[in-house]
Structure 1
Amino acid sequence: MEKTILSCLAILILWSCKQETAMLNTEEATIGAQVPNLKFNQLLNDEKEKLSLYDIEADVVILDFWATWCGPCLSSFPKMSKLQETYGNQLKIIAVTDESKERIATFLENRPQSFTIAIDIDGSINSYFKHRVIPHYVILDKDKIVRAITSGDAITQENIERLLSGQEMEFEVKKEDVDFDPSISLVTNTSQPIFQSTLLPYNPSAPGMSNDGRNGNRLFAYNLTMPSLFKMAYGYRWTRVKENFKDPDIYSYDNKEQLYCYEMIFPNRLRESRLELMQKELANLSNITAKVETQLTDVYLLQKIPNTSITLPISTQKPDPNGITRYGEGVTLQGEPITTLVNYYEEVLGLPVMDNTGYNDVYDITVKWYIENTKKGMDELKKYGLEVIKAKRNIDFLVLSD
């Protein structure tokens, strides 16, 4: 009889847990509603290993959704640490990520923080607070009611003071369409245009993104600054651009009035000249001037390790654009030229990278990247007989001015 009761109790608990998980999967956070008792089942940088939301006694809770590869996320961490230190037990900041415990532990060794890190093991927290762009912030009051779903601009000492004093506040809502489809044209027409170019203001439902149209008949950019549109038109990465603006703050991504959406639909015969057309249009639409100058600068050289016997085997695979990952986890290339690897390392190292390998075919390469340990990321190249070294070279820079 006792075993039967215990078995029934176990089944009831299991059923209850499944029901709670199912509820989280179907519900979505809304401003003004109370959040269910979310479970943070893997914590780092905290005195506890696990925590339930309702066990948090702080008057204000901030959930910060982030990743190690997200530059804006990391740049906000000093501010978040300072806020946590300032308000102590009155404030609980939990930075939520879906990356591995091992990766985050290594990150914290190199960049310790004052707030709690939560690993969203099963994705339930990310699912409840739906978003597609990070950083993403949710502010809860002491009753675990959602007071704001917002951007980092709203996370200030002044706003926290107001929340702690019980003031009613209206935060700017982070408008985000999780079902946003960038393949749909900016301008809907009943007929398909042969050629069309469009410049529109900031779209709060879209993430910041772009596609240069090299593999189709449409190039687009969503929510980019005018300087970023110029970089796209000239094909220059940010590491090879010099900006000489009278007031750089005008072109800040925080200034939504200076963010634009651009689209060009073009026929096949204009594919090769599409970026030149974009350059001319931007010159007419803005007061920015662009020119190319050669300058001596610090660079990295990607080269073969001297006297190595390791060579890159030539790929027999067809290129797979969907297999290219260009963020913190690393990069996987299938049937790609070595320049694709060069471009990736230039992005993560933050300096121009030049190809000194002599490899001219296409290759299959997989390397991991560790933003918390640059040397470890660079050492990944050794298995392919490659290395990156510092040097000085004359290279072309795109110089933008107004």
Structure 2
Amino acid sequence: MKTILLLLVLSAHCGLAQPHTGQPVPDFSVQLLNAPTTSTTLSAQRGKLVLLEFWATWCSPCVAAMPHLQALQQRHARQLQVITVTDETPKRIGQFLTNRPSSLWFAIDTARSLMNLFPHKIIPHTVLIGPDGTLLAQTSPERVTDGLIDSLWRNLPVTITPKADITLSLPEIMQTYFRVADTTRHRFVMQGPMVGAPGVKTPHMLDSIFAHRRLTCLNLPLTALYRIAYEGYSYKRSIDKTGLGDDAPVYCLDIIVDKPEQLLPTLKAELNRRFDLKASLEPQAREVSVLQITDPVKFRQIPRNAAGKQTFSARQGEIAQQAVTMADFAQALEDFGSMRGLVVDGTGNDEKLDITLSFQPEDPQSLPRALAQMGLGLVKQKRDVMMLVLQP
């Protein structure tokens, strides 16, 4: 299947006005690589539906939506042009396409020009532009169906559910909705969902006033809140017998305590006071991936932390952490290493390290290669591990 890579270059329009639904979209140009033509513009696509799909290789729902978009493009080739848009580098997108070939058009928007034209914080984000260049909707990829395309093409009335999206950054959300005085010593606020915000937790680790004694959660289900309260057990280390399912309600909460050691016990107590769930820890035999040192020379080349500043940053394909142990790193691999099973630390090393790891989740061999460069490897073993069991 032919791979088409587009390098996005917006035409010389500075400060393009953000269009609203039903308004004309300002013209923009894209420079095409490995395509029948070297460039195109929105106006050159006049007469076709144009679907801009904002995505990233580290975004699992985005990658999962690609086959759907590919199928739409193939079935409606005369009526539809799909253009995927990301702010990642051409090199990274090239790596992705090597392992997941696609005939969709891929655009690079490192300047974030199109992203500023259609502002959003949550991806995937789908922009649908009509044959006449009018903005039809900003929605989600699963809402663009064969039936919708057929109806639009036949000028039939349709209702396209918009994607709710708060365009504030996480710090701006905190300042707007969760502002508290620096002198606050105790606080527990719990409410329903914040429509359009991401599902995240913020431990305020870089806040000199609230570090280790404040936790804010946005749009998380009850089971996730219990996992956080019970020492941060991941979904892979929990057994959900609640029957709440994927459509369970989500909550926002903000908790502040006087001392760091009070944070999780207080969160447990507040959850147990409000909800009728039972949580217990039980050992169970599981097949796990054990992190081991395979090359001591390479392992010694990993920078040892000297600054004392601890940071955690991780997502699918990238882990960057400072002043962390191998046990911390094993947990990051379990959460973001594109593996289905559990990861435990078997290195026996408790030094504080500065770790930077980059790999391609779509390539099964990429992670083992990246670990090998650090002198590390994963070995499958059967072990007893503690599991968090949640039930009514």
TM-score (norm 1): 0.84
**Match for residue 20 of structure 2?**
30
Query: What is the SS of the residue equivalent to 2:344?
Result: strand
- For structure 1, which segment, 348-357 or 278-287, has the greater mean C-alpha deviation from structure 2 after superposition? 278-287
Deviations 1:332-388 (A, max 9, x none): 333322223212211222321111112111122222121121312221122322111
Query: 5+ residue gaps in structure 1?
Result: 1-16, 252-257
Deviations 1:101-121 (A, max 9, x none): 222222223223342221224
Are residue 202 (structure 1) and residue 193 (structure 2) matched? Answer: yes
Query: What is the SS of the residue equivalent to 1:41?
Result: strand
Is the CA contact (8 Å cut-off) linking 1:317 and 1:334 kept in structure 2? Answer: no
What are the within-5 Å matches in structure 2 for residues 147-186 of structure 1? 147-180=136-169, 181-184=172-175, 186=177
Q: Which amino acid counterpart does residue 41 of structure 2 have in structure 1?
A: S
Q: Which amino acid counterpart does residue 320 of structure 2 have in structure 1?
A: T
Match for residue 371 of structure 1 among 344, 361, 364: 361
Give the Å deviation of 1:208. 1.8
Q: Which amino acid counterpart does residue 265 of structure 1 have in structure 2?
A: I
Query: What is the SS of the residue equivalent to 1:263?
Result: strand
**Match for residue 53 of structure 1?**
42
**Match for residue 40 of structure 1?**
30
Query: What is the SS of the residue equivalent to 1:248?
Result: coil
Q: Which has the larger radius of gyration?
A: 1
Query: What is the SS of the residue equivalent to 2:290?
Result: strand
**Match for residue 11 of structure 1?**
none
Is the CA contact (8 Å cut-off) linking 2:213 and 2:263 kept in structure 1? Answer: no
Distance in 2 of aligned mates of 1:81 and 1:226 = 35
Query: Which of the two has greater helix per residue?
Result: 1
Q: Which amino acid counterpart does residue 194 of structure 1 have in structure 2?
A: R
Query: Relative to structure 1, is the Cα distance of residues 155 and 279 closer, same or farther in structure 2, using a 3 angstrom cutoff?
Result: farther
Query: Relative to structure 1, is the Cα distance of residues 38 and 211 closer, same or farther in structure 2, using a 3 angstrom cutoff?
Result: same
Query: Relative to structure 1, is the Cα distance of residues 161 and 305 closer, same or farther in structure 2, using a 3 angstrom cutoff?
Result: same
Are residue 272 (structure 1) and residue 269 (structure 2) matched? Answer: no
Are residue 334 (structure 1) and residue 331 (structure 2) matched? Answer: no
Query: What is the SS of the residue equivalent to 2:88?
Result: coil
Distance in 1 of aligned mates of 2:223 and 2:32 = 41
Distance in 2 of aligned mates of 1:32 and 1:97 = 25
Give the Å deviation of 1:73. 0.8
**Match for residue 351 of structure 1?**
341
**Match for residue 294 of structure 1?**
283
**Match for residue 236 of structure 1?**
233
Give the Å deviation of 1:18. 9.7
Query: Relative to structure 1, is the Cα distance of residues 187 and 213 closer, same or farther in structure 2, using a 3 angstrom cutoff?
Result: closer
Give the Å deviation of 1:68. 0.6
Query: Relative to structure 1, is the Cα distance of residues 191 and 379 closer, same or farther in structure 2, using a 3 angstrom cutoff?
Result: closer
Give the Å deviation of 1:188. 5.8
Give the Å deviation of 1:316. 4.4
**Match for residue 390 of structure 1?**
380
Query: Relative to structure 1, is the Cα distance of residues 326 and 83 closer, same or farther in structure 2, using a 3 angstrom cutoff?
Result: same
Match for residue 20 of structure 1 among 12, 17, 26: 12
Query: What is the SS of the residue equivalent to 1:103?
Result: helix
- For structure 1, which segment, 280-289 or 76-85, has the greater mean C-alpha deviation from structure 2 after superposition? 280-289
Distance in 2 of aligned mates of 1:193 and 1:117 = 48
Is the CA contact (8 Å cut-off) linking 2:217 and 2:254 kept in structure 1? Answer: yes
Give the Å deviation of 1:294. 1.4
Query: Relative to structure 1, is the Cα distance of residues 273 and 199 closer, same or farther in structure 2, using a 3 angstrom cutoff?
Result: same
Match for residue 325 of structure 1 among 306, 313, 320: 313
Is the CA contact (8 Å cut-off) linking 1:221 and 1:261 kept in structure 2? Answer: yes
Is the CA contact (8 Å cut-off) linking 2:47 and 2:132 kept in structure 1? Answer: no
Query: What is the SS of the residue equivalent to 2:198?
Result: coil
Are residue 223 (structure 1) and residue 219 (structure 2) matched? Answer: yes
Q: CA RMSD in A?
A: 2.7
Distance in 2 of aligned mates of 1:264 and 1:127 = 34
**Match for residue 111 of structure 1?**
100
- For structure 1, which segment, 386-395 or 48-57, has the greater mean C-alpha deviation from structure 2 after superposition? 48-57
Query: 5+ residue gaps in structure 2?
Result: 1-8, 206-210
Is the CA contact (8 Å cut-off) linking 1:41 and 1:121 kept in structure 2? Answer: no
Distance in 2 of aligned mates of 1:79 and 1:140 = 18
Is the CA contact (8 Å cut-off) linking 1:37 and 1:53 kept in structure 2? Answer: yes
Query: Relative to structure 1, is the Cα distance of residues 316 and 101 closer, same or farther in structure 2, using a 3 angstrom cutoff?
Result: closer
Query: Relative to structure 1, is the Cα distance of residues 206 and 192 closer, same or farther in structure 2, using a 3 angstrom cutoff?
Result: farther
- For structure 1, which segment, 178-187 or 33-42, has the greater mean C-alpha deviation from structure 2 after superposition? 178-187
Give the Å deviation of 1:66. 0.5
Is the CA contact (8 Å cut-off) linking 1:58 and 1:89 kept in structure 2? Answer: no
**Match for residue 5 of structure 2?**
none
Identity %: 26
Distance in 2 of aligned mates of 1:158 and 1:343 = 43
Are residue 142 (structure 1) and residue 138 (structure 2) matched? Answer: no
Distance in 1 of aligned mates of 2:132 and 2:353 = 55
Is the CA contact (8 Å cut-off) linking 2:10 and 2:113 kept in structure 1? Answer: no
Distance in 2 of aligned mates of 1:58 and 1:390 = 55
Query: Relative to structure 1, is the Cα distance of residues 188 and 213 closer, same or farther in structure 2, using a 3 angstrom cutoff?
Result: closer
Distance in 2 of aligned mates of 1:70 and 1:394 = 32
Distance in 1 of aligned mates of 2:53 and 2:240 = 31
**Match for residue 399 of structure 1?**
389
Give the Å deviation of 1:130. 1.4
Deviations 1:82-140 (A, max 9, x none): 22222222111111112122222222232233422212243211221111221111111
